[in-house]
Amino acid sequence: MAETFDKKKTIDLRHKYIGPSCKVFFGQDPIKIVRAKGQYMYDERGERYLDCINNVAHVGHCHPDVVKAGAMQMEILNTNSRFLHDNLVEYAQRLQATLPDSLSVCYFVNSGSEANDLALRLAWQYTGHKGIITLDHAYHGHVSSLIDISPYKFHQMTGSQHSQLVYVAPSPDIYRGKHREDHPDAATAYSDEVENIIQDAHKKGQKIAAFIAESLQSCGGQVIPPQGYFQKVAQHVRTAGGIFIADEIQVGFGRAGTHFWAFQLQGKDFVPDIVTMGKPIGNGHPMACVITTRKIAEAFMSSGMEYFNTFGGNPVSCAIGLAVLDVIEKEALQSNAARVGRYLAELLRQQKEKHPLIGDVRGVGLFVGAELVKDRSKRTPATAEAQDVIYKLKEHRILLSADGPDRNVLKFKPPMCFSEENAKFAVDRIDEILTDIEKTLGLPVPSNAGCANHNSCHGVLCDKTVQKQHGNRNSHLNGVDS
């Protein structure tokens, strides 16, 4: 618990030895965290912070069952998967059991980036095609192949030009995107965009290996695709000989509340060809996984190239992974995510009725976004205001972040043990902060006092009927949750 260096010295050493591209939270006044437990983090002075952002600490920081499983296995054996080990196969079996039968073959890796890169390799090898379709504002990882398919990253780059084999489809964001909540069939409209890209590629003589998307776009601004979108996209992509990669790295593992995997929100008739999983699966331990079909796995093998990952699937990682699955079950964290997430979204929706700065509230389970706008009709992003909220929440010892292409979406993705009390505490502080900011800005109270039917749809994916019932101008009804 004691510090090795005082905070100033830590900052100095960080400037000296750590790559300047590696940013800290709250750059102007970073936080030094020395310990954490559950949904709380503690700084060097013992101040407690409510953690609304660390989705990696999925079952809660330093969960004793997970720590114990890791420590025990570290004492006994930690080696590579060229030796047989029960943890590896048991964990693979347990993971598979959470997925549709056709997704049955696992590759264990160390990070979401390694997982998505391998997914691309599988797609390229299986299809023999090169083109990848990604969504605008997507983030899929930091290795070079993934920067290429991450507009969220390559748009940051001065003078960037993205790979000619990468096609960017519009993000299916019905609040700010190309087709909005007033569109009679946004799912079809957005999937037609993908189909047009495929046709354009074909005209240039190029072929599509895969469509890749987060099942819920996270860095892209907590975007929830309209139901049916993935089915339609998958149909177009498969017709073109490509496959569908669902990136569940940020959003899988029960976070969506009603389902274990976020792609399942689209309906039972949708099954991806590859699912990648990462961040939460080891509760912070570096591990990730790719699961695909037997057919794709066999095509990959037919290349003749061995796949070896030094650390991937080692007995310690697998012991930790098994413990995480056990805790999710034992503590009913998926249903906690559903219940608390519904409550959190409800609280935020109430705030939306009160605060003109809140343009939209959307979410499923403990994946919730509140998009701040300066003007509700123009939907002008309130970027500076969102930053202001984040910094002021920090003063109240609440850790929240603002993300999305305009950095104006307050983004909740807390550990899954987050409670209703935590949600109330955070939203009450947001209420106070927004009241202050709006007073300073002289903003009026919003005219639309929210949707009368919201109780019928929050926490689960709205179907189009419900969306229509809600009407067009209720911008908080963003595909899913009000």
Q: Could you say which residues in the range 125-184 bind a second copy, by CB under 8 A?
A: 142-145, 147, 153-154, 156-158
Report yes or no: 115 and 145 within 8 Å, Cβ to Cβ. Answer: no
Cα separation of 34 and 82, whole Å?
A: 37
Q: Any contact of residue 255 with a second copy (CB under 8 A)?
A: no
Interface residue with a second copy, options 38, 56, 100, 238 (CB under 8 A):
56
* E-only strand ranges, 180-317: 208-214, 243-247, 274-277, 288-292
Binding mask 57-76 vs a second copy (x if CB under 8 A, - otherwise)?
x---xx-x--x--xx--xxx
Q: Give the separation between CA 87 and CA 319, rounded to whole angstroms.
A: 6
Q: How far is the CB of 5 from a second copy (least distance, A)?
A: 5
CA-closest candidate to residue 229, choices 298, 275, 173:
173
Nearer to a second copy, 23 or 203 (CB): 23
**Which residues, numbered 30-49, are part of the site for a second copy (CB under 8 A)?**
30-36, 41
The nearest distance, CB 63 to a second copy, in angstroms, is: 10
Residue 446 CA: distances (Å) to CA of 155, 410, 458 = 34, 19, 21
CB of 220 to a second copy, least distance (A): 15
The residues facing 39 across adjacent strands are none
* Gap between the Cα atoms of 72 and 66, Å rounded: 10
- Output the smallest distance, CB 33 to a second copy, in A: 4
Cβ atoms of residues 288 and 281 within 8 Å: yes
Query: Given candidates 58, 59, 60, 113, which one binds a second copy under the rule CB under 8 A?
Result: 113
Q: Compute the least distance from the CB of residue 440 to a second copy, in Å.
A: 29
Which positions from 6 through 25 interact with a second copy, judged by CB under 8 A? 7, 10-11, 13-14, 16-25
Near a second copy by CB under 8 A, which window of 115-123, 361-369, 435-443, 449-457?
115-123
Which residue from 420, 412, 422, 427 is spatially nearest to 54, judged by alpha carbons?
Answer: 412
307 binds a second copy (CB under 8 A): yes
Q: Is 326:65 a contact under the CB 8 Å cutoff?
A: yes
Q: Which is nearer to a second copy, 396 or 468 (CB)?
A: 396
Q: Which is nearer to a second copy, 299 or 466 (CB)?
A: 299
Task: Report, in Å, the least distance between residue 258 CB and a second copy.
Answer: 26
Nearest residue (CB) to a second copy, 71 versus 332: 71
Q: Are 211 and 133 in contact (CB under 8 A)?
A: yes
Specify the residue, 214 or 360, whose C-beta has the smaller distance to a second copy: 214
Instruction: Give the three-state DSSP class for 306.
Output: coil
Among 205, 268, 306, 465, binds a second copy (CB under 8 A): 306
Contact criterion met (CB below 8 Å) for 188 and 230: no
> Which position among 285, 342, 429, 470 is part of the footprint of a second copy (CB under 8 A)?
285
Q: How far is the CB of 29 from a second copy (least distance, A)?
A: 11
For residue 66, give both structure tokens: 């997970």
Is residue 89 at the binding interface for a second copy, with CB under 8 A as the rule?
A: yes
Question: Which of the stretches 109-117, 186-194, 237-245, 454-462 binds a second copy when contact is defined by CB under 8 A?
Answer: 109-117
Which residue, 92 or 347, has its beta carbon nearer to a second copy? 92
CB of 357 to a second copy, least distance (A): 26
CA 149 to each of CA 152, 168, 463: distance values in angstroms, whole numbers, following the listed order:
9, 8, 30
Please say which residue, 1 or 268, places its beta carbon nearer to a second copy. Answer: 1
Q: Residue 112: name the closest of 152, 148, 141 by CA.
A: 141
Nearest to 136 by CA among 162, 113, 118: 162
| CA distances in angstroms from 440 to 351, 433, 444, 452, listed in the order given | 18, 11, 11, 30
